[in-house]
Amino acid sequence: MNIRYPKLVIDLPEKLFFTSDTHFGHANIITFCNRPFADVHEMNKRMTDNWNEMVPHDGLVIHTGDMAMGDPHIYRQHLNGEIILVLGNHDKIRFSKEFRAIHACLILDVKDWKHIKGHSICANHYPMLSWPGKFHVHGHHHEQVTAYHSHRYNIGVDTNNFAPISYLELMRKFSLHQIALHEHERMLQELQK
């Protein structure tokens, strides 16, 4: 069976950002995930401030789910940039003019000739064992585990200082992970001699 995912072409990768699992308005997430906030108001304010410091007004944020407990529009109106929401297990929204689009899964074709030529990023709420495209970004897991795989990254706020991560930083992390893997393989080969 060949599954077709919605595709989006990105021509300005420097304006592209990723995040997940903000859980705006969810007081219990502070305890569940050991978030460093006194209360939900402090958490909402800090994440909103972090978001707006990182994302320009004309930026595009791919949010891979669990944006808010309750109505996300309350929080959306205070956040910079356009948002494409990839639905998570806590998202109850199905359509809204507040978001550029809402999907269950999304493939991004990023035209970035400076860093990695012609690649795709699969954005989904859940981590996948295999995916269409070169890279995979996801949320859902709140632990402090980031890259499970050389081409997969947890973009959730709990693993990224409670802020969105830029496309450029994401590519840097993938590159560093690749360098570390190659160095590890070289060291293993040396030990086997």
**Predicted local distance difference test score (pLDDT) of residue 1:** 42
**CA separation for the pair 58, 144 (Å, rounded):** 30
Show the CA angle centred on residue 112, arms to residues 179 and 20, nearest 5°.
75
Task: Tell me if 78 is assigned to some domain.
Answer: yes
Q: Is residue 106 part of a domain?
A: yes
Q: What's the confidence (pLDDT) of residue 183?
A: 59
pLDDT value of position 40: 97
Whichever domain contains 76, its CATH number is: 3.60.21.10
Rounded to whole angstroms, how far apart are CA atoms 110 and 17? Answer: 12
pLDDT value of residue 133:
77
- By the 8 A CB rule, do 67 and 91 touch? yes
Q: Which residues of the chain have pLDDT under 50?
A: 1-2, 113, 115-116, 147, 184
Give domain status of residue 84, yes or no: yes
In a domain, 129, yes or no: yes
Residue 135, domain extent = 7-192
Q: Report if residue 1 sits inside a domain.
A: no
pLDDT score at 129 = 82
pTM, to two decimals? 0.83
Structure tokens at 66: 């669990």
Number of domains in the chain: 1
Provide the pLDDT for residue 69. 87
pLDDT of res. 75: 92
Distances (CA, A) of 141 to 95, 119, 146, 154: 25, 25, 9, 7
Give a yes or no: residue 44 inside a domain: yes
